[in-house]
Chains A and B, each alone.
Chain A
Amino acid sequence: MIYAYIAVMALVTYLIRMLPLTLFQKKIRNVYIRSFLYYVPYACLAAMTFPAILSATSSPISAAVGLLVAVALALWEKGLLTVAVGACAAVFLTEQVLTLFLHQPLFG
């Protein structure tokens, strides 16, 4: 079953990339469709990031700090790698501080 999932994922993703590149020589002129496609990545990535990020780490507090650091670095126009690593570092440091502060391991 898992390979059926993977096959469907790969096929759909490939067709989305391949069909416009080969079939559509003319550009879409419908303003609404073009605008919709233009906004899709932002709407989609925003919905995927929040609130899912809050359950991505051991504690919602460290995840929230990671998110804030990521947003700050992105506002500062840093690259993908810097933002991703910065968020990871923020989560790591926050969890170390939380562990110290609580005088017990965060990870029971």
Chain B
Amino acid sequence: MIVRCGRNRSGTRADIRAGPTVLPSLLILIWRVFMENRYMLGFRHGIPIALGYFSVSMAFGILAVADGLSPWQAVLISLTNLTSAGQFAGLSVITAGGSLAEMAFTQLIVNLRYALMSLSLSQKLHSSVGTLKRCVIAFGNTDEIFAVASSQRQSLGFFYMLGLISSPILGWSAGTLTGAVASTILPIFIRSALGVALYGMFVAIVVPPMKRRHSIRVVVAISLLLSTALTYLPYLSSFLSSGTLIILCTLAAAGLGAALFPLKEEDMEDPAEASPEAASEEAQAAASQKTEKEVTP
């Protein structure tokens, strides 16, 4: 009847096999999975993201309800999309009564950056993470989760990523619900102030890289000029929806940026492409990593 509490893994197995102690041992196993192990580590790493998401998604919930959606629909969007910019743009398509094709194209353009992040993340995942697990992880690849994931030194396992995704999903959905339900209760000056929360987050993503890269400053400047012009010029603004406006500005500014300032080899964040020697080193490192464990506390 002795239940071992040590961290020895073979000990855990022995406990499970012992007949009368199956239930407590199972409970301990479950407790370990959630409290000690990679899932919980990821969950903890995701908590700062969740707090940030809560305040921002409150603004989304408020905006969605103000645009005529029910709180349930607002939460459903947050649960199924998990993307601030995309949901924001999607909401404008819905209120403008755009077509489903316009919605699909808007989401494609606004969220295209995730394709690049997923590409980068695919190099970062542990070799044990198969296609099915990648399909699950892909759902939660947001800007901030990607940022935390890339900042880890080790290759990343499935349960760590699952935890890292879980807490932000909780924060994002709970914030949306709070904003959507409370929007009718909240005084108007609070609602007005929260209206800039999303934009504040966008500014926080865009401005710091502008300090470091001239090319990003130029891209942002082109985009700002275009969006301002398309918004205020008399004839154009009448037939351009805000979704189309964002698409046009993004295509033009990012396209011009790529033409004027194509990334150099060292900007590509891929040591394997820098030189043949580095590539072989990378391959050796990858081979040796297979024997290492994925990220643990």
Binding site for B on A (CB under 8 A): 2-6, 8-10, 12-14, 16-22, 24-25, 27-29, 31-53, 56-58, 62-63, 66-67, 70-71, 73-75, 77-89, 91-92, 95-96, 107
Write the nearest CB–CB distance from B219 to chain A, whole angstroms: 5
> Which residues of chain A are within 8 angstroms of B219 by Cβ–Cβ distance?
39, 42-43, 46
Asked whether A47 lies within 8 Å of B118 as measured between CB atoms, the reply is no
Known: A5-B93, A95-B189. A17 touches B257 (CB 8 A): no
Q: Mark B207-234, 1 if CB is under 8 A from A, else 0.
A: 1111100011001101110111001100
B246 at the interface (CB under 8 A from A): yes
> Which residues of chain B are within 8 angstroms of A73 by Cβ–Cβ distance?
204
Known: A17-B138, A28-B119, A36-B254. A58 touches B189 (CB 8 A): yes
Q: Mark B196-210, 1 if CB is under 8 A from A, else 0.
A: 111111111111111
Q: List residues of B (102-145) whose CB comes within 8 Å of A's CBs.
A: 103-104, 107-119, 121-123, 131, 134-135, 137-139, 141, 143-144
In Å, the complex CA distance between A4 and B111 comes to 19
Please tell me which one of the listed residues A17, A44, A75, A95 contacts residue B250 in the complex, with CB atoms under 8 A apart: A44
Taking A21-B137, A92-B192 as known contacts, 8 extra A-B pairs with beta carbons closer than 8 A to each other, sorted by chain A number, are: A6-B76, A9-B107, A12-B104, A17-B138, A21-B121, A27-B119, A35-B261, A36-B257
In Å, the complex CA distance between A73 and B259 comes to 31
Write the nearest CB–CB distance from A79 to chain B, whole angstroms: 7
> Which residues of chain A are within 8 angstroms of B119 by Cβ–Cβ distance?
20-21, 24, 27-28
Nearest residue in B to A73 (C-beta to C-beta)?
B204
Asked whether A6 lies within 8 Å of B80 as measured between CB atoms, the reply is yes
Asked whether B116 lies within 8 Å of A37 as measured between CB atoms, the reply is yes
B94 at the interface (CB under 8 A from A): yes
Please tell me which one of the listed residues B107, B193, B204, B261 contacts residue A8 in the complex, with CB atoms under 8 A apart: B107
Chain B interface category by residue count: 35 or more
Binding site for A on B (CB under 8 A): 48, 51-52, 55-56, 69, 73, 76-77, 80-83, 85-90, 93-94, 100, 103-104, 107-119, 121-123, 131, 134-135, 137-139, 141, 143-144, 188-190, 192-211, 215-216, 219-220, 222-224, 226-228, 231-232, 242, 245-246, 249-250, 252-255, 257-259, 261-263, 267-268, 270, 273
Please tell me which one of the listed residues A19, A46, A75, A77 contacts residue B227 in the complex, with CB atoms under 8 A apart: A46
> Which residues of chain B are within 8 angstroms of A10 by Cβ–Cβ distance?
77, 80-81
Nearest residue in A to B112 (C-beta to C-beta)?
A40
Known: A9-B77, A16-B114, A83-B201. A45 touches B107 (CB 8 A): no
